[in-house]
Structure 1
Amino acid sequence: MSSLPTRMVNRWERRRPLMLPPGQGLLYWHVLLGDDPDAVAIVLDAHARLAGLPGLDLVPHRFIHLTVLIAGYSHEITGDQVYEMAVEAKRQLAEIEPVIVTLGRVLYHPEAVVLEARPGDRLLPLLRAAKTATRLVTGSEGYLAHDVWIPHVTIAYSSADGPAAPVISALGTRLPEREVTIRSLSIVRQDGPETVWAWRPLAEVRLTNR
């Protein structure tokens, strides 16, 4: 993920060949943050700074999330398997307490603007649990959304080609920091094209204090 790209590109146009039609979906392991007041506050702060800039699709605050892993196509994973994955992930995370990460550092990708969740290694147990649960139940570890896993919360997606400088100038490289406590890991079904936000949480694995 480039820290300071010179150009933004239309994410949706580039990904159009990969988008699924309505009725088909992907299963994700997400950390859902739409109800976390600190996560919502920093994302809304970023949105206020980006207000009026063309070519950006701001992430609706109710869908604020951190992607951990893509488990696979929803039509290839049954409801019983979703339940079994959640049970196995709960077993894997039985000794893991809620995780505190800091949001504030802004990272830029030609297709998106994100907040890095730091330190990222605190979230590795969630990634390992998601991979293990997916592999043991489905036979596949799933796959990452990017080649390198950098835990992050997306602020906005680029919906047009154009210079990155206005976006970088408006937002900078750091916002006032917010600490966010991650208390659960969820399995979410996303139906159809990404742009329609047709999400349905299927299972939640809570992290508990010992």
Structure 2
Amino acid sequence: MINRWQNREEPGPGQGTLYWHILVGDHPEARDLARTAQERLAGFHGLHMTPPEWLHITTLVAGPTEEITTDQQHQILATASELLAGVSPVTVTFGRIFYHPEAIAVAVEPTDPLRKIHNAVQTATRKVTGREGHTEGPTRWAPHMTLAYSEAEQPAGPLIIALGRELPACEVAINEVTLVDQRGSERLWNWHPVGRVILDRP
């Protein structure tokens, strides 16, 4: 494991970054799974746990708030709503753990239904701002819910032994995606939802 923030550029005080997130902190199933995992990892140093209220699936990094106006943010939301008007809520499964040098996360499966959401918010962002946005990590978007971020160098082996490769699977109904203004340093969790798009096809 490595320190995620050792060489990572972050917004300064008063600055922000717009993210599209699927927020799952209000789903008891997701919170219970995260709590189980975080309790198993509690004895280790160098881990920064995701707060329960901000458990999320990062869908797209839209760009800096100083370069995307408030009007544009609302236009992005309206455009995404139009693009997702024919999309129904999606039921996904959490359970399989994967390890990255910067984080420990749980995979979200199946991925194909969620790609419709990702493609829609990316299209909306591009239409309004001219920006493609980007995903963090691999070029191909891999939906996941991060349980803990690494902020120290240490071997992964003991963490894997403590947590394992899989937790009891749980299902979560995804029915919205949210545009969030993340202000300041990532670890502050100073998040301000701008608006959300509801998946509610009749």
After TM superposition, the score normalised by the length of structure 2 is: 0.97
Deviation at 1:145, TM superposition (A): 1.5
Q: Quick one: percent identity of the two aligned structures?
A: 46
Question: Which AA in structure 2 matches 1:87?
Answer: A
Amino acid at match of 1:154: T
Distance 2:198 2:141 in 1: 22
Q: Which residue of 1 aligns with 2:125?
A: 134
Q: Counterpart of 1:181 in 2: which secondary structure?
A: strand
Matching residue within 176, 181, 185 for 2:177: 185
Match of 1:13 among 6, 11, 24: 6
List 4+ stretches of structure 1 deviating above 4 A: none
Answering whether residue 195 of structure 2 is matched by residue 203 of structure 1, we say yes
The residue identity in structure 1 corresponding to 2:192 is R
Aligned to 1:98, which of 74, 89, 101?
89
Partner of 2:74: 83
Residues 1:67 and 2:58 are matched in the alignment = yes
Provide, for residues 106-144 of structure 1, a one-character-per-residue CA deviation record: whole Å limited to 9, x for no partner.
010000000000011110111111111001100112111
Q: Which among 108, 112, 123 is matched to residue 117 of structure 1?
A: 108
Partner SS, residue 14 of structure 1: coil
Query: 1:48 offset after TM fit, Å?
Result: 1.3
SS at match of 1:128: helix
Deviation at 1:25, TM superposition (A): 1.0
Shift of 1:101: 0.6
**Deviation at residue 55 of structure 1 after TM alignment:** 1.2
**Which stretches in structure 1 are left out of the alignment for 5+ residues?**
1-7
> 1:5 maps to which residue?
none
Write the letter of the residue equivalent to 1:163.
P
What's the counterpart of residue 164 of structure 2?
172
CA distance in 2, matches of 1:54, 1:144: 28
What is the letter of the counterpart of residue 114 of structure 1? A
CA contact (8 A) 2:85 2:201 kept: no
- Match among 146, 158, 179 for residue 150 of structure 2: 158
What is the total number of aligned residue pairs between the two structures?
201
Aligned to 2:28: 37
- Distance in 2 (CA, whole Å) between partners of 1:161 and 1:72 is 29
- Residue 205 of structure 1 deviates from its aligned partner by 0.3
- Distance in 2 (CA, whole Å) between partners of 1:182 and 1:167 is 29
Aligned pair 1:24/2:32, yes or no? no
Counterpart Cα distance in 2 of 1:20 and 1:52: 30
Under a length normalisation based on structure 1, what TM-score does the superposition of the two structures give?
Answer: 0.94
| CA distance in structure 2 between the aligned counterparts of 1:118 and 1:14, rounded to whole angstroms | 31
User: How many Å apart are 1:148 and its aligned residue?
Assistant: 2.7
SS at match of 1:150: coil
